[in-house]
Amino acid sequence: QVQLVESGGGLVQAGGSLRLSCTASGRTVSSYAMGWFRQGPGKELEFVAAISRSGLSIYYADSVKGRFTISRDNAKNTVFLQMNSLKPEDTAVYSCAARGTTYYSDTPSRVNDYPYWGQGTQVTVSS
């Protein structure tokens, strides 16, 4: 079983940037496809980005494409989400998730695809 801890959230002005980190323990993250999700105030949990266990396949939600970048450093057991050009509507609790997979190109995007979740980190974008 893998444990996930997010960090890097905070308060930023619109147009600014933040970099979120998700560090795994318990198991090596290289065996897992990883995803980022977010839940804004009064909204449902939504997919943001996913990266395959190899890092070669990446998938973004349309709402963040061109602004956010997901990456991973398997040697450090960490996945990142670089968020640029932030908008007030990006305000949410951001959570990372892990899914064990044998497929090197797997980039799952559904909440139910992921059995392991972190506790989340708050991102607030002021206008």
Q: How crowded is the C-beta side of 56, counted as CA atoms within 13 Å?
A: 4
Distances (CA, A) of 52 to 39, 48, 49, 75, 101: 22, 14, 10, 15, 9
* Ordered per-residue pLDDT tens for the chain, 127 residues: 899 999 999 999 999 999 999 999 888 888 899 999 999 999 999 999 999 999 999 999 999 999 999 999 999 999 999 999 999 999 999 999 999 988 888 999 999 999 999 999 999 999 9
